[in-house]
Amino acid sequence: MAQHPAKPPRVGDKPAIRWTLIAFVVFFGSLLVLAPLLVIFTQAFALGIGHFAETIALPDTRHAIFLTVLTALIAVPLNTIFGIAAAWAITKFEFWGRRFLLIVIEIPFSISPVVAGVAYLFVYGLQGLFGPALQSAEIQILFALPGIVLASMFVTAPFVARELIPLMQAQGRDLEEAATSLGASGWRTFLTVTLPNIRWALLYGVVLCNARVMGEFGAVSVVSGKIRGQTNTLPLHIELLYHDYNTVGAFAAASILAVLALVTIVAKLALERRGAGRAGRPALASPTVAIQEKTS
């Protein structure tokens, strides 16, 4: 900037613009995000904390919470592995169809989850490709946990890869190539060179993926079968309670879902803070140092 004094001032240099912009963002942020969140919690406790606890303690609600957490515990690690593998393959290797793979990974972003759910019906449903064979083998995919996990995984497949790919592209292959040329195995290179470089992006991807898995409604509602106490996830259960004129119950369940999401975000912030405190150096430097130490 200093060498171009003639340039007009940037947006935000004038206090009036700065404050208008900030006020605008704060206003709409509160209106769009904070107000509904507050409503959820006030409605949930509208009839007192006793009633809230009672609703949460209902077996169906408890099971819905359990099922949602269980789905996340299966889907998120699998998608994390998939995301790392995909990002690695796309950014570190040259191969035919690389761009195509990139597009495939992005598909779930642009497709409505309901379409995904219906697509699974056509593949695994009784009228679909494998349905009759699966039924005669007594394997239940749809309207059971596997279907819910598959649908959730479809919807959240891009999250980790999308966070990693730009970063890994920017970082290039130099460090990994150096590590390999110095004799590190592929696995070791990944653990000591790549992983430390991508950890924050990875963490962010995992958090987003987790939040989305827990909140997924459209795809899951098609393949779940909505059996209370068996295949009703928390978002589906909220809808059920709401349609049943159990407003407080619906908001109580919604507040639990909101809390689950908030917990992931807080966990991410806490991890970031700890990590940032410990590593007071640029992230890129650390793996290089590690390799040097090894060879000296």
Binding site for other proteins (CB under 8 A): 74, 77-78, 81, 121, 124-128, 131, 135, 137-146, 149, 187, 221, 225-231, 240-247
Distance of closest approach, residue 245 Cβ to other proteins, in angstroms: 4
Residues with Cβ within 8 Å of residue 206, at least 6 apart in sequence: 76, 80, 159, 160
Q: Is 55 exposed, middle or buried (0-12, 13-18, 19+ CB in 10 A)?
A: buried
Whichever of 69 and 283 has its CB closer to other proteins, that residue is 69
Distance of closest approach, residue 154 Cβ to other proteins, in angstroms: 14
Whichever of 45 and 143 has its CB closer to other proteins, that residue is 143
Whichever of 78 and 102 has its CB closer to other proteins, that residue is 78
Amino acid at 213: V
Question: Distance between the two ends of the chain, CA-based, in angstroms?
Answer: 43
Whichever of 117 and 205 has its CB closer to other proteins, that residue is 117
d(CA 110, CA 162): 13
The per-residue DSSP string of 142-208 comes to TTSHHHHHHHHHHHHTHHHHHHHHHHHHHH-SHHHHHHHHTT--HHHHIIIIIHHHHHHHHHHHHHH
Whichever of 232 and 255 has its CB closer to other proteins, that residue is 232
Distance of closest approach, residue 164 Cβ to other proteins, in angstroms: 17
Whichever of 124 and 159 has its CB closer to other proteins, that residue is 124
Distance of closest approach, residue 243 Cβ to other proteins, in angstroms: 5
**Of 244, 250, 91, the residue nearest 165 (C-alpha):** 91
Distance of closest approach, residue 13 Cβ to other proteins, in angstroms: 45
Distance of closest approach, residue 175 Cβ to other proteins, in angstroms: 21
d(CA 19, CA 16): 5
